[in-house]
Amino acid sequence: MQTIIKVHQVAAFTAGDQGGNPAGVMVRAALPDERAMQHIATEMGHSETVFAAPSGDGWRVRYFSPEGEVPFCGHATIALGTVLAHQHGDGVFPLTTNHTRVNVEARASDGFGYASLEAPMTSSLPAPPALVQAALALFGYRQADLDDRIPPAIANGGASHLVLALASRERLAAMRYQLAAGRSLMQQHGLTTISLVFAETPQRFHARNAFASGGVYEDPATGAAAAALAGYLRDLDWPHGGQIEIEQGVDMGSPCHLEVSISDQPGAGIRVAGRSRMMGE
């Protein structure tokens, strides 16, 4: 008799009831072995699939892209919170990743949800000039395309991202690159994504995230990169006013909206929130 494996599909960070970044969510009594999790994530084909099992007072979680395990994923965490709220009722769910503990608070009804996560401690440092030049060449950008108010940086909020701030929305919309070359560059420098952003106002950003390291050309919404960006803005003393909003996925035809709260404490976790909808199993 064939075993039926149930994987929920959830769109996270939706813009109202539209768009969102799909994630696979598997909740079981015990985590499958690593090979099985990788196979399931590859078969699902979403940028990430999260696996969760009860552990102590919370849940043990692991995240897999189609090509390998990733340390942390924001949109899959929002998706997991939505599934847990549907199964166990609204509440706060402690999660233990491979490297840290995070909480996701979620409420859900009628196939929809709203969840917020507190990302791990953040850090940032200036990006090496050679990496910046290689990234500009990858996307066909020039130094003049960058917004010098937000210098290139490697930012971390549970995973490492190269942040490149562009000076115009048009240049962001023009993002193009070769997947194999992007994968090589990201793997060489230990990057989960390259985060391209444009500051429309100090509190409103537009973003695109190249995720070649996971075998995905672009992520419609990236909670981990949003947390890393917010932590970097705090390090820059950017006038964020305690909160920013990020529009992402628009250029892919899958609009996403991320709400990001920023405390004044250097390095403290960033809270990322958004809506979600169940897509089926």
Is the pLDDT at 192 greater than 90? The verdict is yes
Q: Average pLDDT in the 52-56 region?
A: 97
Domains 8-120 and 123-268 alike in fold: yes
pLDDT at 163: 98
Q: What percent of the chain is modeled with pLDDT above 90?
A: 91
Beta strand pairing call for 160-166 and 193-201: parallel
DSSP 110: T
Q: Which CATH architecture has domain 123-268?
A: Roll (3.10)
The mean pLDDT value of the chain amounts to: 95
Residue 2 pLDDT more than 70?
Answer: no
Using CA atoms, how far apart are residues 73 and 54, in angstroms rounded to an integer?
A: 19
Residue 5 has what pLDDT? 73
What is the model's pLDDT at position 1?
45
What are 279's two structure tokens? 């897509």
Answer whether residue 142 shows pLDDT above 80: yes
Domain locations in the chain? 8-120, 123-268
Q: pLDDT > 70: what percent of the chain?
A: 99
State how far the Cα of 12 lies from the Cα of 114, in Å rounded to an integer.
9
**Gap between the Cα atoms of 203 and 243, Å rounded:** 7
Residue 112 pLDDT > 70, yes or no? yes
The whole-angstrom distance between residue 270's C-alpha and the CA centroid of its chain comes to 13
Q: Distance (Å, rounded) from C-alpha 189 to C-alpha 134?
A: 11
Residue 110 has pLDDT above 60, yes or no: yes
- Report d(CA 223, CA 259) in Å as an integer: 9
AA identity, residue 80? L
- pLDDT at residue 137, as a whole number: 98
pTM of the model: 0.92
Tens of pLDDT, residue by residue over 196-240, are 999 999 999 999 999 999 999 999 999 999 999 999 999 999 999
Structure confidence by residue, pLDDT tens digits, 247-278: 999 999 999 999 999 999 988 889 999 999 99
Q: How far apart are the first and last CA of the chain?
A: 20
Q: What is the mean pLDDT of residues 109-126?
A: 94
| pLDDT, mean of residues 50-77 | 95
Average confidence (pLDDT) over 19-35? 96
Task: Specify the fold of 8-120.
Answer: Diaminopimelate Epimerase; Chain A, domain 1 (3.10.310)
Residue from 22, 6, 16, 36 nearest 219 by CA = 22
